[in-house]
Amino acid sequence: MDKQTITIYDVAREANVSMATVSRVVNGNPNVKPTTRKKVLEVIDRLDYRPNAVARGLASKKTTTVGVIIPDVSNTYFSSLARGIDDVATMYKYNIILANSDGNDQKEISVLNTLLAKQVDGIIFMGHHITEALRGEFSRSKTPIVLAGSIDEDKQVGSVNIDYEEATKDAVRLLAKNGNQKIAFVSGSLRDPINGQKRLKGYKDALKEANLTYTEGLVFESTYSYKEGIKLAERIKNSGATAAVVTDDEVAVGILNTLTDSGVKVPEDFELVTSNNSLLTEIARPQVSSITQPLYDVGAVSMRLLTKLMNKEEMEERTVVLPYGLAEKNSTK
């Protein structure tokens, strides 16, 4: 009953050659006489033969598939990276298996293992905090791995990021220059080294530079959501801060809208700089000044780097740092 699938063997028979020759034709191997190639191609076309990628994968030990571990595709930050990843993957004839982890330590490990079981040729990992266990899995596996928009001290794997520390510093500098004495730092989990180490350090350093004192009371940790921003607004206002650097656009806009709705004038009474320069910053009124990150490129470059690792190409540096910018809009003076 099954519309039986036609195999390389069928093609070989019809074309009066061996499977080996068909395989060579399919793989563009040059050691085939032009006339033979033509004959085989005709049969392939006539039978509408399509090589079974699974069988190929088994025989060649290459699946032309890479695994992508992502906290949440429906989050624009990550989906922008994902888009960059897929575009470059496609360019190099790879497909991506996309797996959401919710940034959950357990899921990250289990998903990593299923990806390895599926024999992906490489892995791109996006996450917040890399646990010791995960790091262990990373080094155990001989499959190349690249971190995209995620950092880890252990430089065993490749990674692509921007200089979060300097970027945050620039943002705080701007706020300090504008005369703010109390600048809040509103970030996601400080467990994420991007926040807890890089950005926080940038914040502290910039304060010091401006002769401002660091107080824990001005540091706010939150989850990434608009609602969280709304909740936070009151507390930030009460802290006496007159400005804030925020690491997430949703949170930033939540704060902005809440303050504005309660009569606070932005930027006159309160200044705000956020970090991802997403569409939200354009839509909000006033528009929100923001650090700009080349998200798509971070993804694209990660995948490019991964292709090099998969090809075992020699390379200078596997830790890439992309340039960032600062877009001054209307939430800063």
| Integer Cα distance of 305 and 1 in angstroms | 46
- Per the DSSP assignment, residues forming a β-bridge with 292 are 325
- Per the DSSP assignment, residues forming a β-bridge with 219 are 185
Among a copy of itself, DNA, none, residue 272 binds (CB under 5-8 Å by kind): none
**Binding range to DNA, per CB under 7 A, among 1-9, 234-242, 264-272, 285-293:** 1-9
DSSP assignment string, 88-116: HHHHTT-EEEEEE-TT-HHHHHHHHHHHH
Among a copy of itself, DNA, none, residue 9 binds (CB under 5-8 Å by kind): DNA
Q: Which of 13, 41, 47, 56 binds DNA (CB under 7 A)?
A: 56
| Integer Cα distance of 23 and 51 in angstroms | 9
- Cβ proximity of 282 and 330 under 8 Å: no
| Integer Cα distance of 286 and 253 in angstroms | 10
Residues 187-226 close enough to bind DNA by CB under 7 A? none
CA nearest to 144, candidates 323, 308, 325, 315: 308
Among DNA, a copy of itself, none, residue 113 binds (CB under 5-8 Å by kind): a copy of itself
Q: Give me the half-sphere count of Cα atoms (radius 13 Å) on the Cβ side of residue 47.
A: 21
Minimum gap (Å) between residue 31 Cβ and DNA: 4
Minimum gap (Å) between residue 26 Cβ and DNA: 5
- Cβ proximity of 160 and 298 under 8 Å: yes
Among DNA, a copy of itself, none, residue 30 binds (CB under 5-8 Å by kind): DNA
Q: Which of 99, 206, 233, 303 binds a copy of itself (CB under 8 A)?
A: 99
Minimum gap (Å) between residue 24 Cβ and a copy of itself: 18
**Binding range to DNA, per CB under 7 A, among 50-58, 99-107, 146-154, 209-217:** 50-58
Minimum gap (Å) between residue 89 Cβ and DNA: 20
CA nearest to 99, candidates 77, 68, 66, 127: 68
By beta-carbon proximity to DNA, the closer residue of 24 and 128 is 24
72 binds a copy of itself (CB under 8 A): yes
178 binds a copy of itself (CB under 8 A): no
Residues 26-45 close enough to bind DNA by CB under 7 A? 26-27, 30-33, 35-36
Q: What phi and psi values does residue 40 have, to the nearest 5 degrees?
A: -65, -45
289 binds a copy of itself (CB under 8 A): no
Q: How many CB atoms lie within 10 A of CB 91?
A: 12
- Burial of 198-231, coded b for 16+ CB within 10 Å and e otherwise, reads bbbebbbbbbeeeebeeeeebbbebebebebbbe
133 binds a copy of itself (CB under 8 A): no
Q: Which of 41, 57, 264, 292 binds a copy of itself (CB under 8 A)?
A: 57
Q: Give the residues lining the site for a copy of itself (CB under 8 A).
A: 2-3, 50-55, 57-58, 63, 65, 68, 72-74, 76, 79-80, 82-83, 86-87, 90, 95-100, 113-119, 142, 226, 250, 253, 257, 279-280, 282-285, 296
